[in-house]
Chain A
Amino acid sequence: MAKVLYEEATRVYPGTERPAVDALDLDISDGEFLVLVGPSGCGKSTSLRMLAGLERVDGGRITIGERDVTHLPPRDRDIAMVFQNYALYPHMSVADNMGFALRVMKAPKQERDRRVRDAARLLDLEEYLDRRPKELSGGQRQRVAMGRAIVREPQVFLMDEPLSNLDAKLRVQTRTQIAALQRRLGVTTVYVTHDQVEAMTMGDRVAVLKDGLLQQVDTPLRLYQHPANVFVAGFIGSPSMNLAEFRVEGEEAVLGGTRIRLSRETLEALRKEGGDRLVLGFRPEAVDVIAETDADAEHRTFPVTVTVVEELGSDAFLYGQYADAAHPALLDQTVIARVDPNAPPAKGDRVRLRIAQGKERLFSAVTGRRLPP
């Protein structure tokens, strides 16, 4: 077990201009479950493969434990990797697949058998040890791939979207199992996914990447509550945060008839930046549905026409359109709000939403970075 350190690690693929991973700085502590998340093509797999030694590091350093592994071949890094397609060896039995690394290391046969059997018991694979990978279901193959990593007893687990080939239900089940297993084994783990729900539910910390650049790395809760920029705000959370550009007028942010008071710190930051606009975001659960007649009591409200209501049982979400005829330019804005699942509004209803006090998140319209609240 070991900590993992990326220091300005950079990868530029030959023939491309922009780095696929650009000066990545990540400090992963011993035993931590770190999730790399981001949209397709943001450099998650490349970052992971750099740690595995499957991709060259063109700049910066990577260390595992105290060892600088930047230029070591994969086999000298003491890691185990689970691939998206599992990469099970089709010509070997499940047992041979799981014991492969030990056989390469020339571990004594007895020990190899014992470790394979232990892992198989842990993963409920005992009855399949003699089968070939193609005789297994998708979920079983996934477990064999996990087993192959566990048997290794490595310093670090690397996993690249190991659940993406499973159906939705199995994915949810397996992600809890993997997280529990990791906690039990205590092996430092770097896990790649493009699914932010997976990231939030599994990771001790989550690193958000975009265009090869690290956007933010933090615990799931802090990422959710205090996104560092507009991208993270919009990417983390499902349904996603409502984001809209507001004008700054005096001490208020204004959009149509909605007015929100800004703090002195925010105004100060805006003044330094010289902008008269900002991006305001609020989560679907950060709004209250209020009676239409309360309209004038508060400025933090706006009218919405309900277009879709998603009822999930425990939750209900309203998808609506900004509905203030006095401001036709805004009519295309879609708003998502969580509403009382026991008394959801109906499609076509007109409701008024109020952004709860202190729940708005403010970002610079110029840089996208968070503004002081």
Chain B
Amino acid sequence: MSTSMTPPSSAHQRTTADQAVRGNGRAVTAAPPGVPQSPLEASSKRSRWTVAILLAVAMLWTLIPLVWMLLSSFKNRSDVTAATPQVLFAPTLDNYRNLFSGPNNLGPYIWHSVLAAGISALLALFLGALAGYGLARTRMRGKKHLAFWIISTRMAPIAAIVVPLFLIFRGLGLIDSIPGLVLAYLTFNLPFAIWLMSAFFAEVPPSLEESALVAGCTRWQAFRTVILPLTKSGLVTTFVLCLVFAWNDYAFAVVFSGPNSQTLPIAASQLVTQTGIDWGQLTAIGTIVVVPMMLAGLAVRRWLVTGLTLGAVTGE
């Protein structure tokens, strides 16, 4: 893996930060009251305040629209469109009820999303782990170029590959099918998964698997029992990122899916009609799209944080 492409390992910074936080719940011990502060402490205090304020702004920036969406999904029609934003209102489940009834029931859309995103993320993870391992361990020449070529296939805009893919899919009868969507997502997720996983595998010292080989393992056993458990956070990170990409996708779905395979983002777009926009239902769908991913992110938060900083592997 080329160093220019691999995110820098920050194992050390991370562990020291961890310890600092775990140590006493605060990153830096404040001077006891009454003790005069040195200029250094004062300036570090000021910079901490700056960081806190910036973080607060960033948090509001991302959270307010989400909260607004969540609230709106529980409002009735007049509350949603009221000129003065309503914060206190009588909550109603009407929007959700309407989504799951009538001819345009949301159920199948959810099922398609779960299938397409879930299967494609699992496949990307499985294939990406195998290929990434090979890429991390091969001694062949030109390996950096190969690695770069793989990730470069992800740099093209979706629009550039949609048309050729469409022609291929039509020839193969994959239009309006879940396997078609899974394949489409793989074209983007697999290079990413290979590249990310190979960065994680490269962090595992080869002597660990060599030791397993000498101890009597086959290559596959060494991979399974020694390497994979050590890259758990990488696996989780890769899976979640692939899942989120596929789950949120609109561009592929709008081209390749039909009645048998339409996903949640398509359902949302269908609410924007010429006769008007049903904001209540739209925000309800938005909530249904966002909440599972947020819960998934929360559930694997621990792995994601260590995963995104890499270096979580050897524990030394």
Question: Within the assembled complex, what's the spacing in Å between the Cα atoms of A54 and B209?
Answer: 10
Which residues of chain A are near B139, meaning CB under 8 Å?
Answer: 14
- Minimum CB distance partner of B139 in chain A: A14
B314 with A52: CB separation less than 8 A: no
Q: Top 8 nearest A-B pairs by Cβ distance?
A: A101-B215, A87-B207, A87-B211, A90-B315, A104-B216, A74-B213, A75-B216, A83-B207
Q: B41 near A: Cβ within 8 Å? A: no
A134 with B213: CB separation less than 8 A: no
The one of A52, A87, A104, A158 that contacts B217, using a Cβ cutoff of 8 Å? A104
Q: B293 near A: Cβ within 8 Å? A: no
**21 A-B residue pairings within 8 Å (CB atoms):** A54-B210, A74-B210, A74-B213, A75-B213, A75-B214, A75-B215, A77-B214, A81-B210, A81-B214, A83-B210, A85-B205, A87-B205, A89-B208, A89-B211, A90-B313, A104-B212, A104-B225, A132-B315, A133-B315, A134-B316, A148-B215
B229 with A91: CB separation less than 8 A: yes
Which residues of chain B are near A83, meaning CB under 8 Å?
Answer: 207, 210-211
Which residues of chain B are near A134, meaning CB under 8 Å?
Answer: 315-316
Contacting residues of chain A (191-240) with chain B, CB-CB under 8 angstroms: none
Interface size on B, residues (CB 8 A): 23
A101 with B216: CB separation less than 8 A: yes
| With contact pairs A83-B210, A85-B207, A104-B221 given, residues A90 and B216 touching in the complex (Cβ less than 8 Å) | no
Q: A80 near B: Cβ within 8 Å? A: yes
Give the number of residue pairs across the A-B interface with Cβ within 8 Å: 69
> What is B's interface to A at a CB cutoff of 8 Å?
139, 141, 205, 207-208, 210-218, 221, 225-226, 229-230, 313-316
Question: Within the assembled complex, what's the spacing in Å between the Cα atoms of A133 and B226?
Answer: 14
| With contact pairs A85-B205, A90-B314, A90-B316 given, residues A75 and B210 touching in the complex (Cβ less than 8 Å) | no
A52 with B214: CB separation less than 8 A: yes
- Minimum CB distance partner of A145 in chain B: B211
Q: A152 near B: Cβ within 8 Å? A: yes
B215 with A100: CB separation less than 8 A: yes
Which residues of chain B are near A132, meaning CB under 8 Å?
Answer: 315
Question: Within the assembled complex, what's the spacing in Å between the Cα atoms of A90 and B315?
Answer: 7
Q: A250 near B: Cβ within 8 Å? A: no
Question: Within the assembled complex, what's the spacing in Å between the Cα atoms of A105 and B218?
Answer: 11
Which residues of chain A are near B225, meaning CB under 8 Å?
Answer: 104
What's the minimum C-beta distance from A274 to chain B, rounded to whole angstroms?
Answer: 46
Question: Within the assembled complex, what's the spacing in Å between the Cα atoms of A52 and B217?
Answer: 13
Which residues of chain B are near A80, meaning CB under 8 Å?
Answer: 214-215
Contacting residues of chain A (1-48) with chain B, CB-CB under 8 angstroms: 14-15
> Which range contains the number of A residues in contact with the other chain?
20 to 34
Q: A68-102 toward B: CB 8 Å interface, digit per residue (1/0)?
A: 00000111010111011101011100000000110
- Minimum CB distance partner of B217 in chain A: A104
Question: Within the assembled complex, what's the spacing in Å between the Cα atoms of A77 and B213?
Answer: 10
| With contact pairs A87-B208, A90-B230 given, residues A54 and B314 touching in the complex (Cβ less than 8 Å) | no
- Minimum CB distance partner of B211 in chain A: A87
Which residues of chain A are near B226, meaning CB under 8 Å?
Answer: 89
What's the minimum C-beta distance from B205 to chain A, rounded to whole angstroms?
Answer: 6
A74 with B214: CB separation less than 8 A: yes
Contacting residues of chain A (126-183) with chain B, CB-CB under 8 angstroms: 132-134, 148, 152, 158
A100 with B230: CB separation less than 8 A: no
Which residues of chain B are near A91, meaning CB under 8 Å?
Answer: 229-230, 315
- Minimum CB distance partner of B207 in chain A: A87
Interface-central residue, A14, A83, A90, A148, by most chain B CB under 10 Å: A90
Question: Within the assembled complex, what's the spacing in Å between the Cα atoms of A158 and B207?
Answer: 14
Q: A52-64 toward B: CB 8 Å interface, digit per residue (1/0)?
A: 1110000000000
Question: Within the assembled complex, what's the spacing in Å between the Cα atoms of A83 and B205?
Answer: 11
Question: Within the assembled complex, what's the spacing in Å between the Cα atoms of A89 and B207?
Answer: 10
Question: Within the assembled complex, what's the spacing in Å between the Cα atoms of A152 and B212?
Answer: 12
Which residues of chain B are near A158, meaning CB under 8 Å?
Answer: 214
A75 with B217: CB separation less than 8 A: yes
What's the minimum C-beta distance from A15 to chain B, rounded to whole angstroms?
Answer: 6
Which residues of chain A are near B207, meaning CB under 8 Å?
Answer: 83-85, 87
- Minimum CB distance partner of B221 in chain A: A104
Question: Within the assembled complex, what's the spacing in Å between the Cα atoms of A134 and B315?
Answer: 7
The one of A79, A84, A85, A133 that contacts B214, using a Cβ cutoff of 8 Å? A79
- Minimum CB distance partner of A76 in chain B: B216
Which residues of chain A are near B141, meaning CB under 8 Å?
Answer: 15
Interface-central residue, A73, A91, A132, by most chain B CB under 10 Å: A91
- Minimum CB distance partner of B209 in chain A: A87
Q: List 19 additional A-B contacts (Cβ < 8 Å) besides A77-B214, A104-B221, A133-B315.
A: A15-B141, A52-B214, A53-B213, A54-B213, A73-B213, A73-B218, A74-B213, A75-B213, A75-B218, A80-B215, A81-B211, A87-B208, A89-B208, A89-B211, A89-B212, A90-B230, A100-B212, A105-B216, A134-B315
